[in-house]
A and B are shown apart, each in its own frame.
Chain A
Amino acid sequence: MSDNSHAAIRTDALTRVYKMGETTVRAVEDVSLEIRAGEFVALLGASGSGKSTLLNLMAGLDRPTSGAIYAHGKNLAEMSSEDLAKYRGHTVGMVFQAFNLLPRMTMAENVELPLRLAEVDRNERAARVQEAVKRVGLSARTAHRPTELSGGEQQRASLARALVNRPTILLADEPTGNLDSATGTEIMNLLREINQSLRMTIVMVTHQRELAEKYSERLLLMRDGKLESDGVRQ
């Protein structure tokens, strides 16, 4: 296996097995891969192929049954839950299909939430929120609640929230899944812009092959928990 000093994420025989009653589900099985820093990777696969489980393992939200997963050289499988929380707060940012903005907070407060959790100084927070909101083009909507925003705006807000702590890895789980195609294209353009201007590593789960082929540099295809193909787009 290659040196992982330039790898944002590397997995070695990564396996995640669930018990569902009497049934054993091998959601991720023996996956070994390496994602270099600054890469835009699409994780493709049908429903139940294990792509979201792999993304959750990369996000430190789940622990592998066996194998190892490294983020910037640190094995997430060996981290304490406290260290995993710090990793989620500082190293990765997450974007969800359902946006997952907290409805009782304004957009700016939602974006500020990771800064609160990371105990960033109050004075610095406002500037960081403004910076993130400006990047996604939502400066005029900061005082609005999520229910007052369109789907595209909510996903932009979710993206701003993911970026506000200046992570090195952005993990997106079906970011356009709840959006129409025009809005989805806007979000994808935004992700590409972030990837190119910030050299941020992006791993995006999607089942839309054409979207993956258009925007990502590399396609990882999952089937039945296994990595079926790993191809760099020409």
Chain B
Amino acid sequence: MSNDNLIETDVLVIGAGPAGLSFAIHYADLNRKHHLTSKVMILEKAAAVGNHTLSGALMNFKTLGELLPDVDLSSVPTATEVRQEEMLFLTKKKAFGLPYHPKAMSNKGNRIISLGAMVGWLGGIAEQKGVEIFAGVAAQELIFEKGKIVGVLTGASGLDHEGKPMPNYQPPTEVRAKVIIFAEGARGHLTKTLIEKFDLAKGKNPQAYSLGVKELWEVPEGSFAQGHIIHTLGWPLGTDQFGGGFVYGLNKTQVVVGFCSGLDYSDPAFDPHGALQSYKTHPRIAAIIKNGKLLKYGAKNIPEGGVFSLPQLYHDNAMIIGDAAGFVAMPSLKGIHLSIRAAMNAAQTAFIAINEQNTSKENLSLYKILFENTSEYRELYAARNFRQCFTSSLYAGLLKFGINQITGGRGLSLNGRSRLSEDHKHLRPALKNNHLTPFAFDNKTTFEKEAEVFYSGTKHDEEQPCHLRILSQDTCLQCIEKFEAPCRYFCPAKVFELSRDAQTNQRKIILHPSNCLHCKTCDIKDPFQNVTWVPPYGGDGPRYDKM
């Protein structure tokens, strides 16, 4: 590679989300404290920091305060204190308050925030501290030398659908660093490559995901109080499915409505976006958004496997942080402050390693040791067998959860660790002649996927090669035959459409990659693992600002 396309830095962070930014901020602080000047650079695929960040979100600000001791946290945009909390069990028409609120799930003292807005704010702080953030740059491939990772390759641009260079072709750039921090978020594609290459998931549970589908609504004042939060279980999910809904009063006139569906579901026709639309027809929920206006739509995956699904978090010259690793503590679904803590530990580790000029996996293993000694880790550890409780039935799950609570998280497992199997293995074959009643979208409170995608602000340069890599067309046909193309249901953005070839009359999948929300559900849930998600051009994708 010519000099023109080679950049060298000390620490490279892939992803400017809460973890990536926390890492960089803490690293920069350590530099300043010790009067040292190693460089940290972040590559972010979204056009602007925060555009691809999506969460409910309810956040514990404690760790943020430790990351930024000199910053007044009242300046975090959109943050509002949780004032009233409800946990409900829903049937189709009714809502029942749950008799028991586990303490771990209480949100007293937490804030409702737009995580994207907070990340945008955090990005500003990072830049003030000298961190270089380059938005609109997608890291595409890893560069290995002598069996170790040494850098990343950004994507080329100016390619046609077949990948051939056009007159406006721009070659990839090689970015080399001493330490590379994987902060790509849930199911990061480079993280996936790293884990596979070095077998970092050996002996661990696979990761388990829930797809969160979320909408931001503008409602007349008085519809739902600011600071009021509702979590629900039950309808529209059956008892054999894990998931639940939420409504958060972000401010006097804005409400967040969302639904999370565990991706270990077995019905191939299950549609997470559809679940949210159904959810909104429940009388309790419908009353809140009744006179409202849809502002934004988005979807993102949550890694829920907990501590036993964490891969080995470090290797030569590399560390994995944030949702790419999976620091979400169930059932409270708290992952942000844990990610911040782990990111700070990773920063400490990287700082020492860089200055000792030793970035081997042995030296970087300090990251694990540091994190395992924190209170945040203990939160994560307490929930270590939670998700595994809910792989079959809700009631059995609740029972197991109860047992978990009594046994201090150990649950019913013999060795203290309950197993999980991959989400994509759970699908059962489609029922033939299963006539699904199409949902009647009213276009006032419920919307078709294709229409909603517009509200995510997602845009993609359409001249580029398709960023959803289908490994085998034949496998697609097999999947259509056996499962009736579940991709058209599980994708929240209608990227996959079942169509018929005009000539052969055979059914086939056509792709609409420009709808993509970068949630990677296809990469996770495809029963044949036939789809690999890679990033499209830098700058492409949704725009979740203030959502």
Q: A and B: partners?
A: no
